[in-house]
Structure 1
Amino acid sequence: MPLTTAPDTLPTRIGTEILNLLLPHHRTTDPVPAPVRVPAQAFPHQLRRIDAFVRDGAPIVFTLPGFPCKSPNPAKVLGHLPDQGERLSLTFLNTLCTKIERIYPPGARVIICSDGHVFGDLIGVPDDHIDAYADDLRTQIGRMGLHRLSVFDLRDVLGDLPHDAKRSHVHERYAPTLEALRAEIRSDSQALALYRGITRFLVEDTADWTGTRSALQRACRQRAYGVIQRSRAWGDLIAEQHPRAVRLSIHPQPIGAPKFGIRLLDAPDAWTTPWHSAALRRTDGTWALMPRAEAARTGRLVRQGGKDSHFDQSRAACR
């Protein structure tokens, strides 16, 4: 049967279809009215990268920095290991790859770039907790048969060097200067929003502060600069290690930005992630992310495999 589509237009058509699978989950900073659907052509960076894989007939590679470790604030999370929130998010990402495979047989894979060690000292999480979290992610991926996912962290680049040495190496080689970052935050609204969002998370994640609230906010504002510096450094290292990959982000991104913001699960706050929250199963069977203390008020705690897993509203009615 003769081809009905010219060979040189085929990658663009397939690339558009693939990107259309991601668009319902796009997490953006731009105000978009609910009925309006942003066309795939508004994302030229992602289309170019996807098309390059399609032209080669190769699996599409996505990199997703995130899944660093659990928040150290026990009012927000169930513990320091992955739970149902992570399992649901991992399943979502694997299912997305499966959907891509249905329209593009070479398929896709997501490399989860676990960044806990990059800034663990700045967010107050012990390195052994970060190792345990990333190791358990790998275990969960294998146990659930999510073969289209993998985990990449600093150990894959710098081996068994001490954690502080790894952080210093990444910061010195890749991070922007503090002066340049401050200037960007003063002049760029998106950078300012990120800075404020990270500052808020640092304040919320501090559970053992004994000083004043204003002193805590000052300290977190300073640490936020370091977190952004290290995050930028991690992003550059990922780009160096995976130069062709399509870059995803768990943070909201402007339409058309080089990074594609993606929502993993439903949450009232666009910045909420599984590692800053607990999962709640609603009475209608849908899932949402929220602080542990809030979920505990409306749902009953469920344990799986001997560990706290999530909250369930339907079980709360039985109490």
Structure 2
Amino acid sequence: MSSLPNQRGRSDSGYDLSLSDTTEKILKVIESYGMHEKSHSAPGQTGWLGRATFGPIIEKHVLEGKLIPMVLPSFPWKSINRIDKVLGTEPDLGEELALARVNDLCRSVQRVYEPGAMVVIATDGLCYNDILGIPDEDAWTYGSAVRALAEERGYSCIRFVRLMNLLGIHNESRISKQKYLSLCGMARRELALRYGDPSFDADAFLKTDEDYMRTYLGYSKFLTKDLAYSSVMTYLASRKKYKAKVKAIGKEMIAGGVAYAKLIREVYPDYVPVDRLEDLVGIPDEEYYDYGVELRALAARKDFNFIRFLRLSDLLPCGDSIELSKEAYLGSVPGLREQLETDFLDKNFDVEQEIRSNPDTKITYEGYVKLADEDLRWSSTLDKEVLSTPPLYDEAAKEVAKGMIKRLIAYENLIRQKFATAIRLSIHPSTGKSKISVPLLPHDTKSRGTPWHSSIVVLANGEIRPGHSKEYREKYELIQKHGKPYYFREKNQIFELEVPIEIDYEYEGLILKKTTSEPLILNKRDEEKLAELILRFRSVRALGFDVSEINFT
């Protein structure tokens, strides 16, 4: 029997067999991109917990013959830790690979279901960058670059939305930097007012939500390292206070995330959720703006047509049709964050209880703690005594992580409101019951690295690995693109060709580009190296010459 939705058959019980088959195929595709952890609250359960959650949502879309909508809060800005972790403030090979993976998810769905899928990337940097000390302008630059990258690549299945869009503060997909900066503060205020909860107890919340606890622990880990470079840590007098600040910021991020998730659900009620946080760690809003601009530019250059970007300002309902400039963006950031928490965070929200009671929150919290531990030391405002006192530093990382959880809850509430029927994707570890955790970097099945918290190295054996720049700087060669650091590559003679061929890397594999108009004459050494590259890498694309002409004997 055909699995097409317009050629349905029914069993004796009246159940739509063909639709069920189509839904099952789509579920298998989406599940294949996910990576989930066992739930502590359901230790005996096997299989993907999200199947029962997302099956009915997908089935509804298939029955109507519509594309499968998914929403992914992610791509906030580059880590403030540019000494040990990332190559700079702008997107690089990591973002390129991540966008390509999102686009590949959509293409894979389309192979089994003709209408295909669409992923809305809800860029969430404004939810947390003020907490982390990251300038709004950085968020603008990064976000714009990511959008441009997706547009360049023709990723038509990717759509972007900003916090301003979600809140209704700005209703156009494009925004000038001046307008964007002017709305950042308003967007944060609106998020807090509409979706936040002044009485939110992060500790209580984390105890009840397993996934958020994982997110919080992740926050705490990266914050411990990143906040050392953040201005938010300058006046802490001791290591103990530093660690307490890290935890507080992590909990604040969780609260913001909860509010944002509520907003997302409201704006996109029919979307499947896929997951992602950050101002809490001291990253300037300006850096987030620049990162977003570059990320969008990267997606545009790569023709990632299935990806669309939305800022927080796109989600919050208070906007106009004027393109948002960088200055406007930076000016609006504080208000957007406040609005996010006010409107989308329950007034009685207890972050501690949320971490305790929600398995997914606990997972996220643990991730935040880890990241905070790594990143907080790079905060420009970090007190030297806190930096030099491990117990204080650890406590600060945990507190930052809790702050991130609080913001996360608000943001997720916003997401749920805006994308209520969408499939929810996530970059955070989870049990997979309420959101689908999707590693953005290909081949990364263990570290769960994200491009905004890592650097990429391409090895001579064909592997790619995310990691920290300090681990790669001495051992590997730094490759530049458009005059900017882009990724690391293993120092190996296989990459050292005598002929004018430029070697690059993309999601599908290796690119060999002829850089001369003259006929390409390969000597035996280059033929052997090219043959070896073709054998080692899963895909090799030649530009300007025919690989089949190479003599492999």
- When normalised by structure 1's length, the TM-score is 0.89
Secondary structure of the structure 2 residue equivalent to 1:303: strand
Kindly indicate whether residue 241 of structure 2 is the aligned counterpart of residue 233 of structure 1.
no
- CA-to-aligned-CA distance 1:41-86 (integer Å, 9 cap, x gap): 8521111111111111001111000110000001111111111001
Please, which moves more after superposition, 16-25 or 45-54? 16-25
Distance 2:146 2:254 in 1: 24
Kindly indicate whether residue 121 of structure 2 is the aligned counterpart of residue 112 of structure 1.
yes
Distance 1:136 1:285 in 2: 27
Question: Do the aligned partners of 2:87 and 2:455 also contact (CA within 8 Å) in 1?
Answer: yes
Distance 1:249 1:217 in 2: 27
Percent identical pairs in the alignment equals 27
Q: Quick one: which amino acid aligns to residue 16 of structure 1? A: E
Distance 1:153 1:130 in 2: 11
Q: Corresponding residue for 2:368?
A: none
Q: Corresponding residue for 2:269?
A: 243
Q: How many residues align?
A: 313
- CA-to-aligned-CA distance 1:125-148 (integer Å, 9 cap, x gap): 110010111100110001112111
The partner residue of 1:162 within 178, 183, 206 is: 183
Q: Corresponding residue for 1:221?
A: 247
Question: Do the aligned partners of 1:252 and 1:270 also contact (CA within 8 Å) in 2?
Answer: no
1:175 positional shift: 2.2
1:287 positional shift: 1.6
1:40 positional shift: 6.0
What are the residue-to-residue correspondences of 1:68-107 with 2, within 5 Å? Answer: 68-74=76-82, 75-107=84-116
Secondary structure of the structure 2 residue equivalent to 1:228: helix
Question: Do the aligned partners of 1:134 and 1:151 also contact (CA within 8 Å) in 2?
Answer: no
Task: Give RMSD over aligned pairs.
Answer: 2.6
The partner residue of 2:62 within 39, 43, 54 is: 54
Q: Corresponding residue for 2:398?
A: none
Q: Corresponding residue for 2:154?
A: 145
Kindly indicate whether residue 476 of structure 2 is the aligned counterpart of residue 299 of structure 1.
yes
Structure 1 or 2, whichever has the larger Rg, is 2
The partner residue of 1:202 within 223, 226, 229 is: 223
| Change in 2 beyond 3 A, CA 1:8/1:232 | same
- CA-to-aligned-CA distance 1:5-57 (integer Å, 9 cap, x gap): 438222221111112112233222228xxxxxx75685211111111111110
| Change in 2 beyond 3 A, CA 1:200/1:141 | same
Q: Quick one: which amino acid aligns to residue 135 of structure 1? A: S
1:207 positional shift: 3.6
Distance 1:189 1:145 in 2: 38
Distance 2:125 2:472 in 1: 25
1:155 positional shift: 3.0
Distance 1:302 1:165 in 2: 40
- CA-to-aligned-CA distance 1:192-247 (integer Å, 9 cap, x gap): 33222212221121243665443321111111111111111111111111110000
Structure 1 unmatched ranges of 5 or more: 32-37
Q: Corresponding residue for 1:258?
A: 434
Q: Quick one: which amino acid aligns to residue 24 of structure 1? A: S
Distance 1:17 1:43 in 2: 12
Secondary structure of the structure 1 residue equivalent to 2:37: coil
Q: Corresponding residue for 1:193?
A: 214
Question: Do the aligned partners of 1:171 and 1:230 also contact (CA within 8 Å) in 2?
Answer: yes
Q: Which has the higher helix share?
A: 1
Secondary structure of the structure 2 residue equivalent to 1:195: helix
| Change in 2 beyond 3 A, CA 1:183/1:158 | same
Q: Quick one: which amino acid aligns to residue 229 of structure 1? A: A
- When normalised by structure 2's length, the TM-score is 0.53
Q: Which has the higher strand share?
A: 2
1:314 positional shift: 4.4
Question: Do the aligned partners of 1:178 and 1:225 also contact (CA within 8 Å) in 2?
Answer: no
Q: Corresponding residue for 1:35?
A: none
| Change in 2 beyond 3 A, CA 1:218/1:181 | closer
1:110 positional shift: 0.8
- CA-to-aligned-CA distance 1:258-302 (integer Å, 9 cap, x gap): 111111124475442111001111222222211111132432111
Distance 1:70 1:126 in 2: 11
Question: Do the aligned partners of 2:49 and 2:431 also contact (CA within 8 Å) in 1?
Answer: no
